[in-house]
């Protein structure tokens, strides 16, 4: 009886080993595929950067103007719903941020013509005569935290990612107004496109 149990255990273990081996192979194939895709993307990025480097200053300016126009047009099509502002100052900060839609992202800048994410939010609140900290991590602790997306109001800060490295302004209708990343412009984006952590009411 004991021998039978041992043999059954061995069969189970052999089956588990085989399943684990198959999963490992799948994982290895996936990793190889991801590596290939990453190389393709890096190649395309390098080609795009090379092409960008060949443009004259005039051509770059024309391209930037087109991007700004596109971002503004896209912003006009966004349905923000009828969410009310968290306060008068939140409404003023949000209106200020709306006025710079289409401005380029620039790391370390807080306006008036280029912004990084927390640069945009701190600049917007400064236009409403409210001083908030400069970085997204510090802004995460600058007011009352709101953990439910449904409780967010226009002008609330919205903190993204576990390390709180990104921030935007809630725009209503499930949209956030933010300066996304290098190479992008200040624009609206669905709040669901990034890992939401919580809101902050100033």
| pLDDT, tens digit, 9 for 90 and up, residues 141-154 | 999 999 999 999 99
How many domains are contained in the chain? 1
Domain, as residue range, for 165: 82-201
pLDDT over 60 (residue 58) = yes
Known catalytic residues are: 117, 166, 178
Domain-located, residue 73: no
The more confidently predicted of residues 77 and 6 is: 6
Mean pLDDT of 169-198: 93
Starting from the edge strand earliest in sequence, which strands make up the sheet with 175-178, in order? 144-146, 196-201, 157-160, 166-172, 175-178, 187-190
Task: Tell me the pLDDT band of 76, cut-offs 50, 70 and 90.
Answer: low
Domain-located, residue 116: yes
Domain-located, residue 63: no
Domain-located, residue 167: yes
Q: By CB neighbour count within 10 A (0-12 exposed, 13-18 middle, 19+ buried), where does 79 fall?
A: exposed
Domain-located, residue 91: yes
> CATH code at 141?
3.90.1720.10
pTM exceeds 0.85: no
| CA–CA dist 198, 110 (Å, integer) | 23
Is residue 169 within 8 A of residue 178, CB to CB? The reply is yes
Mean pLDDT of 90-115: 92
């Amino acid at each position: 009886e004991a021998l039978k149990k041992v043999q059954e255990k061995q069969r189970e273990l052999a089956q588990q080993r085989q399943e684990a081996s198959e999963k490992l192979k799948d994982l290895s194939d996936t990793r190889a595929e991801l590596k290939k895709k990453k190389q393709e993307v890096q190649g395309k990025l390098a080609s795009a950067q090379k092409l960008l480097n060949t443009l004259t200053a005039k051509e770059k300016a024309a391209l930037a103007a087109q991007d700004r126009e596109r971002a503004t047009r896209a912003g006009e099509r966004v349905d923000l719903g009828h969410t009310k502002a968290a306060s008068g100052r939140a409404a003023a900060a949000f209106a200020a941020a709306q006025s710079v839609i289409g401005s380029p992202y620039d790391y370390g800048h807080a306006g008036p013509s280029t912004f990084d994410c927390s640069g945009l939010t701190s600049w917007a609140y400064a236009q409403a005569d409210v001083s908030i900290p400069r970085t997204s991590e510090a802004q995460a602790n600058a007011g009352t935290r709101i953990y439910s997306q449904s409780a967010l109001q226009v002008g609330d800060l919205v903190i993204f990612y576990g390390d709180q490295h990104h921030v935007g302004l809630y725009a209503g209708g499930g949209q956030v107004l933010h300066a996304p990343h290098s190479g992008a412009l200040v624009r609206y984006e669905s709040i669901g496109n990034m890992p939401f952590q919580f809101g902050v009411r100033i």
